[in-house]
Amino acid sequence: MSDTFSRYQSLVDSGEISFDPAQAVIAKRLAALNAELGDYRLARRKSGALSWLFARGEKREPVRGLYIWGEVGRGKTMLMDLFMAASPVRRKRRAHFHEFMADVHERIHIYRQKLKAGEVKGDDPIAPVAADLAEEAWLLCFDEFSVTDIADAMILGRLFGRLFEEGVVVVATSNVVPDELYRDGLNRALFLPFIKLMQERMAVVKLESRTDFRLEKLSGRPVWLTPLGPEADRSMDEAWSRLTGGARGEPAELPVKGRHVPVPRQSHGIARFTFSELCEKPLGASDYLAIAHTFHTVMIDGIPVLRGLARRNEAKRFITLIDALYDNQVKLVASAGAEPMGIYLNDEGVEAFEFARTASRLIEMRSEEYLALPHARRPHNVGDTGGIVET
């Protein structure tokens, strides 16, 4: 298994990405961490998680994770992809942070229901929840680490304190330095010990990359390709290759409220669907929000012209989908049968009125100003959403 830096260098050598000194520095840090995790894994096998800390009668320092922060579009997600692919750890989990916390709150709720039914003992659910999480994965990797919710802020210190005691190692990417987390949040003073804990258990490094690669790959290029046909198909394939650095992409699933939304192709924070897969299937707002929160760019192939009331349901889903993408500042690349104003041809029903707003949003989403916006990823409540599950 090649290390993170070797994988990064291979992408550079193949021409899939351009060499960036700042990215190379982080890739080397991640490669060193993976090497340390390999030793940690062997120690765990021999003596158990907590015994690792007391090997040969001496207390040893636990493995410090990594907190990588920097501006949007600098390659943090790509580097996390490489790190996860090279990781020797089998019990590992990668999730967007808000989805992870939604899962935590769901587990807490289930514990309290069991407590009420007399099935478990103990008033504090944090310890058993942390133990279960640690049993499932002792390497936790978070994309876009941010804290905006007071319910999250108030339990993070205790939760992560227990996770670290269980021997869990954490790697995270974020757009902000730890000291800026939950800035101006309610009762922030109660949150500050968590920041200190993170800085003790995770090395904080900034990705000082030279440019916003995401914007660079979209700027000045058409993102709404019409009419449908072989030329649009070729342009979509070229856009995928450009955005992902030539990655093939893998299928995945997004857990939403006990169900799984299939993602036919995803890589580097980019997902690709057909219109049929998104709007001709029984998907709803929660599903589209999960997509919008997970991926910074969505590609949609084959948006047809929707004519009359017979395509009303597809139009309603498309409106909901675009609202979710727009509200979370997700970038959209699509091939379509017409310009936005000509996609839904129907004068009856509320959808006809609502689609005018959708068309306006689609036009705005093609602008340089919109493409330069960071991925918002507003917190949502989709139930037991635990992050991407590759299939």
Which overall architecture, per CATH, does domain 4-209 show? 3-Layer(aba) Sandwich (3.40)
- Domain residue spans of the chain: 4-209, 213-371
Residue in 389, 384, 390, 391 with CA at minimum distance from that of residue 132: 384
Report the C-alpha gap between 74 and 292 in whole angstroms: 20
pLDDT at 196: 94
The two beta strands, 65-69 and 169-174, are: parallel
How confident is the model over 198-246, as pLDDT tens digits? 999 999 999 887 665 655 666 667 899 999 999 999 999 999 988 887 7
Report the C-alpha gap between 361 and 355 in whole angstroms: 10
Q: Rounded mean pLDDT of 347-366?
A: 84
**% of the chain exceeding 90 in pLDDT:** 43
| DSSP notation for 188-206 | GGGTHHHHHHHHHHEEEEE
pLDDT at 257: 78
On the 0-12 / 13-18 / 19+ scale of CB atoms within 10 A, 293 is buried
pLDDT at 383: 33
pLDDT at 210: 61
How confident is the model over 265-287, as pLDDT tens digits? 998 889 999 999 999 999 999 99
Do 331 and 217 form a contact (C-beta atoms < 8 A)?
no
pLDDT at 41: 65
How confident is the model over 13-56, as pLDDT tens digits? 887 777 888 889 999 999 999 999 887 766 655 555 554 444 44
